[in-house]
């Protein structure tokens, strides 16, 4: 269930009205003080102006009182709405409603006791989810998860923004931890329904942000098991949504291909980078864009003419220069690599990090599975910078992922 009216936003707007009114009050106060000192001095014409100004000032004070009253009313309406919503949610055991946005708002600097308080409150209201999450966190045979890991995972899960929180919670119980103490890497194993991790890299010390990998592998599990677009296998393989930029219904991997190669509104697409090189007359400017795109899809410049090869290399260098090597660019590095058999990948970072071998990308459906897992993990763990990068490099695909998430939340 997802409510359109947002009481948190109404409360914020009420607060903004009060702030605005207070700002006016301050000015009214100064003008009144000026009036008191000016009303007895100067020529009659000045006196006339001073009186007029004071009259306007009084009108302004009246406006300010109205704004205060509006703020108070809006606040009251938000409270009424909240209470009604809480009542409905309690009776029908609905989660993910607007009330969560008010009380389960994440504070990135929360202390241990603040986290515990919120966790306790949430778990009292949602004992069924508490039970399922406890069970998941306890399925690890190696039992590597510390009390702090459990606290942080719960806090992130319970304070994630909707619809991601509901998606995560509603899928608990469908998959378990296989092993959290691998030698290296992390993966979801479809035929066992397990998520698996290297303890030291995937929990609190995850270089991409604490618990990002935890939610990444969970995202694969959800994709596999939610059965929104298909009964067995990964939903993101088949999910179809509307692409505004392409002006038709497409799969997520079609949107990825469009963003990586053709999207002129994406300054990072191969077409945009190649056009820039051609327009500036740089090395490679005599190459043919279509030939270069086809070569990237095969992952090699073998067989290209001399000029096309120059353009291929120039695009590759431009991509590597702008995409850099920070962990917040990991979705970009991995999936641009995925769409090009790793030809478009920043090898200085990619091969060492969380990216995938060339052969993994023989199946282009893996691009949509990976982009979803990245997107979901950023939403859950609150990796704002990484999310921003993903949206910037995959404008159409990010839109499709949002449609997929909304589909999961309302299925």
Q: How far from 220 is each of 168, 216, 237, 277, CA to CA, in Å? A: 11, 7, 12, 38
**Residues whose CB is less than 8 angstroms from the CB of residue 7 and which lie 6 or more positions away in sequence, other chains included:** 78, 79, 81, 82, 85, 98, 99, 101, 102
Distance in Å, CB of 85 to Zn ion, minimum: 36
Which of positions 342-381 make contact with Zn ion (CB under 5 A)?
373
Is 202 a binder of Zn ion (CB under 5 A)? no
Q: Which is nearer to Zn ion, 196 or 266 (CB)?
A: 196
- The backbone torsions φ and ψ at residue 233, rounded to the nearest 5 degrees and listed phi first, read 90, -170
Q: Which residue has the tokens 């270089």?
A: 207
Q: Which is nearer to Zn ion, 226 or 373 (CB)?
A: 373
What's the rounded Cα separation, in Å, for the pair 284 and 312?
7
Closest among 321, 336, 289, 323 to 308, alpha carbons compared? 289
The C-alpha torsion from 365 through 368 and 372 to 374, rounded to 10°, is 100
- Interface with Zn ion (CB under 5 A), residue total 1
Q: Which is nearer to Zn ion, 125 or 330 (CB)?
A: 330
Q: Which is nearer to Zn ion, 194 or 263 (CB)?
A: 194
Q: Which is nearer to Zn ion, 104 or 188 (CB)?
A: 188
Distance in Å, CB of 182 to Zn ion, minimum: 14
Helix (H) / strand (E) element for 178: namely strand 176-179
Q: Where are the alpha helices (H) located in 93-170, listed in sequence order?
A: 98-103, 112-125, 127-137, 147-159, 164-170
What's the rounded Cα separation, in Å, for the pair 108 and 384?
12
Distance in Å, CB of 196 to Zn ion, minimum: 11
Task: Output the residue with the shortest Cβ distance to Zn ion.
Answer: 373
Distance in Å, CB of 165 to Zn ion, minimum: 21
Q: Which is nearer to Zn ion, 119 or 373 (CB)?
A: 373
Q: Which is nearer to Zn ion, 74 or 373 (CB)?
A: 373
Q: Which is nearer to Zn ion, 373 or 380 (CB)?
A: 373
Distance in Å, CB of 83 to Zn ion, minimum: 42
Is 398 a binder of Zn ion (CB under 5 A)? no
Distance in Å, CB of 396 to Zn ion, minimum: 21
Distance in Å, CB of 234 to Zn ion, minimum: 11
Judge whether 162 and 101 are in contact, CB under 8 Å: yes
What's the rounded Cα separation, in Å, for the pair 28 and 352?
62
Written as one string, the DSSP assignment of 327-381 is: GGGHHHHHHHHHTTTTSSS-HHHHTTTT---GGGGGSTHHHHHHHHHHHHHHHHH
Q: Which is nearer to Zn ion, 18 or 189 (CB)?
A: 189
Distance in Å, CB of 128 to Zn ion, minimum: 28
Distance in Å, CB of 81 to Zn ion, minimum: 40
Q: Which is nearer to Zn ion, 189 or 230 (CB)?
A: 189
Distance in Å, CB of 356 to Zn ion, minimum: 8
Six token digits for residue 278: 């051609």
**Residues whose CB is less than 8 angstroms from the CB of residue 229 and which lie 6 or more positions away in sequence, other chains included:** 235, 236, 237, 238, 239, 240, 407
- The backbone torsions φ and ψ at residue 289, rounded to the nearest 5 degrees and listed phi first, read -60, -45
Give residues in contact with Zn ion (CB under 5 A). Answer: 373
């Amino acid at each position: 269930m997802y409510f359109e009216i947002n009481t948190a936003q109404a409360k914020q707007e009420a607060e903004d009205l009060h702030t605005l009114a207070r700002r006016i009050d301050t000015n009214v106060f100064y003008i009144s003080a000026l009036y008191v000192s000016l009303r007895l001095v100067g020529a009659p014409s000045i006196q006339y102006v001073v009186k007029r100004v004071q009259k306007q000032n009084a009108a302004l004070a009246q406006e300010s009182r109205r704004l205060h009253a509006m703020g108070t009313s809006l606040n009251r309406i938000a409270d009424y709405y909240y209470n009604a919503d809480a009542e409905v949610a309690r009776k029908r055991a609905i989660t993910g409603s607007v009330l969560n946005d008010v009380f389960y708002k994440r504070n990135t600097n929360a202390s241990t006791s603040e986290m515990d308080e919120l966790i306790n409150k949430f778990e009292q209201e949602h004992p069924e989810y508490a039970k399922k999450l406890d069970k998941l966190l306890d399925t690890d045979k190696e039992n590597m998860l510390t009390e702090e890991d459990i606290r942080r995972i719960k806090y992130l899960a319970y304070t994630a923004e909707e619809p991601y929180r509901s998606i995560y919670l509603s899928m608990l119980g469908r998959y378990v931890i296989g092993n959290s103490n691998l030698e290296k890497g992390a993966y979801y194993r479809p035929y066992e329904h397990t998520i698996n991790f290297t303890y030291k890299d995937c929990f609190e010390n995850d270089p991409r942000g604490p618990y990002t990998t935890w939610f990444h592998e969970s995202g694969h599990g959800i994709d596999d098991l939610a059965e929104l677009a298909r009964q067995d296998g990964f939903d993101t393989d088949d999910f179809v949504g509307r692409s505004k930029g392409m002006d038709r219904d497409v799969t997520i991997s079609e949107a990825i291909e469009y963003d990586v190669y053709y999207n002129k509104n994406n300054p990072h697409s191969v077409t945009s980078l190649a056009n820039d090189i051609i327009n500036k007359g740089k090395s490679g400017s005599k190459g043919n864009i279509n030939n270069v795109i086809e070569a990237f899809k095969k992952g090699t410049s073998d067989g290209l003419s001399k000029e096309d090869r120059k353009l291929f290399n120039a695009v590759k260098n431009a991509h590597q220069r702008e995409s850099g090597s920070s962990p917040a660019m990991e979705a970009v590095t991995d999936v641009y690599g995925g769409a090009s058999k790793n030809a478009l990948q920043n090898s200085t970072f990619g091969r060492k990090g969380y990216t995938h071998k060339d052969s993994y990308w023989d199946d282009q459906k893996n691009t949509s599975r990976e982009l979803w897992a990245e997107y979901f993990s950023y939403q859950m763990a609150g990796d704002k910078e990484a999310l921003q990068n993903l949206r910037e490099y995959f404008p159409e695909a990010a839109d499709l992922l949002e449609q997929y998430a909304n589909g999961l939340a309302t299925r």
